[in-house]
């Protein structure tokens, strides 16, 4: 009876290990996962938006951030559906579904508010987006049991807190665009490369 219990415990550990490995593969690590697609796109776009706004003194170029939806469409098209969906896969998907819902609700709220107040200022979406993504990436790190992926996004969260706090003393700065790109390094790019390293071991 004791021997049977030991075997069952060993099988459980092996099952958990296989689930984690399957999840890493489903994240398309080594072939350019979603973290890297979004991270690098946001980083490059932040430089482009900053340059356009800074050189032209026209804040309307901030609307280029809506191109992130184009990136989302590309990533959705590029991603392969996993052959086997594990509990960990479902947990990670659930986390990012919640993040997506929070993002959509915030966008709708700000658009409705802009319509009512006749203001086109959507600057709050920058700190909101950083905060949402930071939480999603940290939760992903918790699920795949990687401390670096869990805690790196805290840098991005601090940037979002700085942005929100700065609103108390004035209008958003043009430098916010570069800060967004800087934060993307910690909430998407580095975690994405870490997942590649994990898969390579």
pLDDT in tens, 98-136: 998 998 999 898 888 888 887 766 788 899 999 999 999
Tokens of 28: 């398309």
Tell me whether residue 100 is in a domain: yes
Q: How many CB atoms lie within 10 A of CB 132?
A: 21
pLDDT tens figures, 17-46:
666 666 555 554 444 478 898 999 999 999
Which ranges in the chain belong to alpha helices (H)?
A: 2-26, 34-56, 68-78, 87-117, 125-143, 147-151, 153-166, 176-184, 190-200
User: Which residues constitute the domain of residue 101?
Assistant: 22-27+35-200
Query: What is the chain's mean pLDDT, rounded?
Result: 82
Q: For the chain, what is the domain count? A: 1
Residue that the structure tokens 């108390």 belong to = 168
Tell me whether residue 4 is in a domain: no
Tell me whether residue 99 is in a domain: yes
Asked if 193 contacts 39 with a C-beta cutoff of 8 angstroms, the reply is: no
Q: What are phi and psi of 124, to 5 degrees?
A: -60, -20
Can you give the pLDDT at residue 16?
A: 65
């Amino acid at each position: 009876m004791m021997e049977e219990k030991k075997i069952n415990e060993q099988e459980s550990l092996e099952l958990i290990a296989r689930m984690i490995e399957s999840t890493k593969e489903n994240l398309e690590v080594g072939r350019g996962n979603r973290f890297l697609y979004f991270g690098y796109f946001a980083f490059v776009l932040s430089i482009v938006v900053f340059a356009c706004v800074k050189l032209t003194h026209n804040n309307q170029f901030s609307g280029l951030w809506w191109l992130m939806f184009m990136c989302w469409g590309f990533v959705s098209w590029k991603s392969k559906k996993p052959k086997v969906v594990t509990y960990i896969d479902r947990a990670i998907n659930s986390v990012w579904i919640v993040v997506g819902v929070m993002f959509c609700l915030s966008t709708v709220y700000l658009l409705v508010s802009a319509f009512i107040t006749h203001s086109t200022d959507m600057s709050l979406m920058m700190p909101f987006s950083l905060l949402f993504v930071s939480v999603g990436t940290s939760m992903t790190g918790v699920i795949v049991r990687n401390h670096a992926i869990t805690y790196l996004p805290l840098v991005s969260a601090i940037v979002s807190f700085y942005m929100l706090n700065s609103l108390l003393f004035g209008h958003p700065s043009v430098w916010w665009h570069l800060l967004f790109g800087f934060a993307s390094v910690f909430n998407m790019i580095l975690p994405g490369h870490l997942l590649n390293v994990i898969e390579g071991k």
